[in-house]
Amino acid sequence: MSGTFFQRADGSPKTVIVTGGAAGIGAQTIRTFHDHGCNVVIADLPLAKDAAEKLISSLSNPDRALYHPTNIVEWSDMQALFRETKKKFQQVDIVVANAGMMESTGFYEFEEDGNGELKEPTGAYKVIDVNLKGTMNSKDGARGSITLIASTSGYFGGTGVVSYVASKHGVVGLCRASQLKANEFSIRVNVVAPFFTPTYITGEYSEMWKERGLPANTTEDVANAVVDTSTTPERKGHSVLVASKQVREIETVRTSLMQQWMGEEIAHVMAEGGKFFNDIGGYPLPKPRV
Q: 150 CB contacts (<8 Å, ≥6 apart)?
A: 168, 171, 172, 175, 191, 192, 193, 239
Rounded to an integer, the average pLDDT of 267-272 is 94
Residue 268 pLDDT level (bands cut at 50, 70, 90): very high
- Is residue 2's pLDDT more than 60? no
Strand pairing category for 239-243 and 246-249 = antiparallel
Nearest residue to 97 (alpha-carbon basis) of 136, 124, 60, 126: 136
Q: Considering 108, 164, 200, 283, which one is annotated as catalytic?
A: 164
pLDDT band at 1 (very low <50, low <70, confident <90, very high): low
> Could you tell me the domains of the chain?
3-249 (3.40.50.720), 256-283 (no CATH)
Per-residue pLDDT of 156-172, as tens digits, reads 988 889 999 999 999 99
Q: Are 125 and 45 in contact (CB under 8 A)?
A: no
Dihedral of alpha carbons 171, 127, 71, 201, sign: negative
Spatial contact of 20 and 148, defined as CB atoms under 8 Å apart: no
Which of 30-34, 50-54, 135-139, 180-184 comes out lowest in average pLDDT? 180-184
Residues 50-93 have pLDDT tens digits of 999 999 999 999 999 999 999 999 999 999 999 999 999 999 99
Predicted TM-score (pTM) of the model is 0.93
pLDDT at 262 over 80: yes
| pLDDT for the residue numbered 140 | 82
Please check the confidence at residue 142 and state whether its pLDDT lies above 70.
no
Distance, in Å, from the CA atom of 179 to the CA atom of 134, rounded to the nearest integer, reads 19
155 carries an active-site annotation:
no
Compute CA distances 228 → 36, 93, 106, 212, whole Å.
11, 14, 35, 31
